[in-house]
Amino acid sequence: MTVQTKRSFLGWAAVGMAMLMAIGVGGCANAYGPPDLVGLSVVDRDTGQPLRVWRHNGRMFVAGRPGARYALRVSNHTGNRVMVVLSVDGVNILTGETAGYDQRGYVFDPYEEYDLNGWRKSDSEVAAFTFAPLPESYAARTGRPGDVGVIGMAVFRERAPVRDVYPEAPAHRWRAPDSSGRGGLDLQRPSPAPPPAEAPATRSAPSSGANAAAEDQAPGDMARREDERLGTGHGEREWSVVTTVDFVRATSYPQSIRRIEYNTYANLVAAGVIPARPYAEHRPQPFPGNPGGYVPDPPPGPDGYDD
């Protein structure tokens, strides 16, 4: 049995077909297999730079800012296609299901890298990832707050193709899907966003960083809640195109698993993940002009004698 997998639009877009197999595992570590099989980083979309990773007790953390948009930057470091199943707050970012290894994922070509910007809503749209207070996170709003604050990635290698099983397709092209589930859509560059007049009434331009839930809050409310535990909100819709290709996993269990936890900077400092800032080399002194000793005599008076 196969299930369709999908991929976002920032590079050459592709969607895969992945084999569903029952798997039972106990526990989860930061990574299994080669740590550099596929890279994962959390990117601040306002600056385009990855957030700093803090390591603590064998775990990885990043500090997020409530209201800020972020992306997941995935980098295939291998010379073969791979499929990645990605979760945010324990939720599959493609389907909205409680995340599991045997679900749909994004297919990456050899050495390909691009940013995934949000929850997939259709073949042409995503809802932006935004840091938000836990009650406003997508997971909490759908009744699943227990795993808020973690990003996960499971990586699967592709099974080596068997010759002469399927007819050859034209270069850079795949057969349209049929009732057997084989084949997929054309591999193509992302389509440009449609003119505003053609856009559905529910589509809006990308936000500057505030998520839809945060817009309903009173001014200053986000700042007051900065010290609350962070989750990921369901932000504004953005144009993002996907297409389909064949992909069969080499194994039912992922070759690599990555985990990145996140929270506010203040919360990570309070938890001991981020060291508290040390005092500056120069500390302000309450009595800078008289560091020690006794009170000196005053200067001589007008007559040349001490008072």
Which amino acid would we find at residue 108?
F
* CA angle centred on 214, ends 100 and 145, rounded to 5°: 30
Residue 300 falls within a domain, yes or no?
no
Q: How far apart are CA 74 and CA 129, in angstroms?
A: 15
Does 185 fall in a domain? Answer: yes
Asked whether residue 200 is domain-assigned, the answer is: no
Rg of the chain over CA atoms, in angstroms?
27
Query: Which letter, b or e, does each residue of 287-296 get, where b requires 16 or more Cβ atoms within 10 Å of its Cβ?
Result: eeeeeeeeee
Whether 133 maps to a domain, the answer reads: yes
CA neighbor of 152 nearest in space, from 32, 274, 11: 32
pLDDT at 281: 55
Q: pTM for this one?
A: 0.64
Q: One digit per residue, pLDDT tens: the chain, 307 residues?
A: 333 444 433 333 333 333 332 222 233 334 444 457 999 999 999 999 999 999 999 999 999 999 999 999 999 999 999 999 999 999 999 999 999 999 989 999 999 998 999 999 999 999 999 999 999 999 999 999 999 999 999 999 999 876 655 555 443 333 333 333 322 222 233 444 554 444 333 333 333 333 333 344 444 444 444 448 999 999 999 999 888 778 999 999 999 999 999 999 999 999 999 998 765 556 676 777 766 667 777 888 776 665 5
Please indicate, yes or no, if residue 14 is contained in any of the structural domains: yes
- Supply the pLDDT for residue 200: 37
Q: List, in order, residues 6 or more apart from 45 with CB less than 8 Å away.
A: 68, 69, 70, 71, 115, 117, 209
pLDDT at 174: 33
- Whole domain around residue 94: which residue ranges? 2-22+31-192+206-270
Q: What is the pLDDT of residue 255?
A: 94
pLDDT by residue (tens digit) across 210-222?
333 334 444 444 4
Residue 168 domain-assigned (yes or no): yes
**306 within a domain of the structure (yes/no):** no
Phi/psi at 150 (5° precision): -145, 145
Please state the domain count of the chain.
1
- Residue 290's pLDDT is what? 64
Q: What is the mean pLDDT of the chain?
A: 74
pLDDT in tens, 158-183: 998 766 555 554 433 333 333 333 22
Residue 290 lies in a domain: no
> Which of 9, 95, 81, 84 has its CA nearest to residue 40?
84
